């Protein structure tokens, strides 16, 4: 009825699916539609039917059978709608789900962007415009994560919040449970270990579980059994119109503590050194769409590499990725989509209020994850601008109010003396590309410039520092000796210059190093980008460059120096 349509897989970005160049770079509204037939048992009055989106980029409006059910702004976090009243009156009739999706970025979105109209009629067609962005990755669009229909009773568990404290022999698991639909209900809780044994029980919406001789959640390479999670089963029962309703939810719980001093990052009271990567949700054909084989491949590469951590640069990653981080003991700096905040108008109240909502959504989703040890509220903002002080003071205070249990940071590339947001963070995360964007080709300047960078930041703020980005582009198979830019040899040489400084400073106050990037990824076209950003230590197809072996040797050496693992875990082998 609306004209030509094409099949579109979900989850996936729509950009690379066809041979149509106009879809590759499309900006504006697209429409998705699908019909499903619901089971008849779902149409009972005592059930809620919920439509949930893992994420859709960027602005979504959703209808069911022509009735609008939800709007959502933001491309990286879940949203849902109760559609019970629409579908329960129509048994046997297909449920038609329609989604209008717009990927336009403005100064007030997160990430921000701007639309520029080209009005010179001698050079551009009428109504010609481009989407300008201030971040270096492709603005893929589409329904990127799973869309599911699920049911709950009309009285249901809406939210669970868990925090943990521990000593050598005793751990306490504090919980809060929110129930919606009735004020008359009972709650029972059981905490089970990985063998299924019940180790603690409780009841009521607020309480504390005591665990004797707990198995703590440890990062990968910090313990012989990393990523240990208990299972917290929460059971709700309520009487409604004479019927017993029951809702059960099982939540993985990792018992661990996080603490930051002026020079250390402590997990379970032990110093933790981040030796990891920055990543992107990015791959051939599917763009940012969730892809399980690629996901598992990436985690096998992370463990082969000896990486114990990554930052979700520059947006929240899929829940399936976070699940594996919890299970494997991969530590996460969880970053919101606050990338490219460069324009003055992006620091106004409209942007600020949306940023606060995004942090609420992110923390609600990831607050119970043991792998998440720190929130990052932005990447490389124009934090030297005067409004940045109030902006980041407000965002960070709001984040800490929502979750007092974790430190908060943002990632900066500003001058240490001019950064107006740095006073409010718990950990300094700094990006620098000496001998690449600065003094390109001059590897010899790295030791002095990097040392000066660290000393200036620490002297000013007396906070631990993570080198949150560093790296160089390398074209696979391009070789040069002596090393020249874009060769694999230059990428290796740059890494080694940085590493020599890291080794001196990690005994003092540098608490981590995250290479940019784990793998090559797509960007907008430009004269400095040959089919994307080539700073990966792996290609986009996940094949190692020479730098991957340099990093692997380093990370396993650091792990062996600092861990208390038995010898079998200290070999450079992959454990599946």
> Catalytic residue positions?
380
> How many C-alpha atoms does 418 have within 13 Å on its Cβ side?
9
Sequence-distant (6+) residues with CB within 8 A of 174 are 162, 163, 164, 165, 207, 208
CA-to-CA dists, residue 95 to 64, 82, 548, angstroms: 7, 13, 49
171, two tokens: 């751990």
49 three-class SS: strand
352, two tokens: 């600020």
Q: Are 204 and 187 in contact (CB under 8 A)?
A: yes
Alpha-carbon distance of 20 to 326, in angstroms, equals 40
DSSP characters for 331-344? Answer: EEEEE-S-B---SG
89, two tokens: 């009156």
Backbone φ, ψ for residue 297 (5° rounding): -60, -45
Sheet holding 265-267, edge to edge: 258-260, 265-267, 270-271
Question: Is 297 exposed, middle or buried (CB count within 10 Å of its CB: 0-12, 13-18, 19+)?
Answer: middle
542 three-class SS: coil
């Amino acid at each position: 009825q609306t004209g030509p349509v094409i099949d579109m897989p979900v989850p996936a970005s729509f950009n690379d699916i066809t041979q149509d160049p106009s879809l590759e770079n499309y900006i504006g509204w697209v429409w998705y539609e699908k019909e499903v037939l619901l089971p008849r048992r779902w149409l009972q009055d005592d059930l809620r039917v919920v439509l949930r989106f893992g994420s859709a980029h960027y602005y979504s409006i959703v209808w069911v059978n022509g009735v609008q059910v939800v709007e959502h702004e933001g491309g990286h976090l879940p949203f849902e709608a109760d559609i019970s009243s629409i579908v329960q009156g129509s048994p046997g009739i297909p449920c038609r789900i329609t989604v209008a999706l717009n990927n336009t970025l403005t100064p007030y979105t997160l990430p921000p962007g701007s639309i520029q109209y080209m009005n010179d009629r001698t050079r551009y067609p009428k109504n010609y415009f481009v989407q300008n962005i201030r971040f270096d990755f492709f603005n893929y669009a589409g329904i990127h994560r799973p869309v599911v229909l699920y049911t709950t009773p009309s009285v249901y568990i809406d939210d669970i919040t868990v925090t943990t404290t521990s000593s050598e022999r005793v751990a306490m698991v504090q919980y809060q449970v929110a129930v919606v639909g009735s004020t008359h209900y009972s709650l029972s809780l059981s905490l089970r270990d990985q063998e299924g044994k019940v180790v603690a029980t409780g009841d009521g919406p607020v309480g504390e579980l005591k665990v004797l001789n707990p198995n703590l959640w440890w990062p990968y390479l910090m313990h012989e059994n990393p990523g240990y999670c208990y299972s917290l089963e929460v059971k709700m029962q309520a009487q409604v119109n004479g019927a017993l309703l029951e809702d059960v939810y099982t939540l993985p719980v990792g018992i661990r503590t996080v603490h930051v001093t002026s020079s250390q990052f402590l997990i379970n009271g032990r110093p933790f050194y981040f030796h990891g990567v920055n990543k992107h949700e990015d791959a051939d054909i599917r763009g940012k769409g969730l892809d399980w084989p690629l996901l598992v491949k990436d985690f096998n590469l992370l463990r082969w590499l000896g990486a114990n951590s990554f930052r979700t640069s520059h947006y929240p990653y899929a829940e399936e990725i976070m699940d594996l981080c919890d299970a494997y003991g991969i530590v996460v700096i969880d970053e919101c989509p606050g990338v490219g905040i460069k324009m003055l108008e992006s620091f106004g109240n409209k942007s600020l209020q949306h940023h606060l909502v995004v942090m609420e959504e992110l923390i609600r989703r990831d607050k119970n994850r043991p792998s998440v040890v720190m929130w990052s509220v932005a990447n490389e903002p124009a934090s030297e601008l005067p409004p940045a002080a109030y902006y980041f003071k407000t965002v960070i205070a709001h984040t800490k109010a929502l979750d007092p249990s974790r430190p908060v940071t943002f990632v900066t590339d500003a001058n240490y003396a001019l950064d107006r947001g740095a006073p409010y963070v718990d950990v300094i995360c700094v990006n620098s590309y000496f001998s690449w964007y600065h003094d390109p080709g001059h590897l010899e300047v790295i030791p002095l410039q990097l040392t000066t960078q660290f000393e200036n930041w620490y002297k000013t703020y007396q906070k631990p520092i993570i080198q949150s980005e560093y790296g160089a582009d390398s074209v696979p198979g391009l070789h040069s000796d002596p090393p020249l830019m874009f060769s694999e040899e230059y990428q290796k040489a740059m890494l080694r210059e940085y590493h020599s400084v890291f080794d001196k400073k990690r005994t003092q106050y540098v608490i981590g190093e995250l290479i940019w990037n784990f793998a090559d990824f797509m960007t907008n076209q430009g004269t400095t980008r040959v089919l994307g950003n080539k700073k990966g230590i792996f290609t986009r197809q996940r094949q190692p460059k020479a730098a991957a072996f340099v990093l692997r040797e380093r990370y396993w050496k650091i792990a062996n120096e600092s861990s208390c693992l038995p010898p079998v875990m200290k070999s450079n082998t992959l454990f599946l």
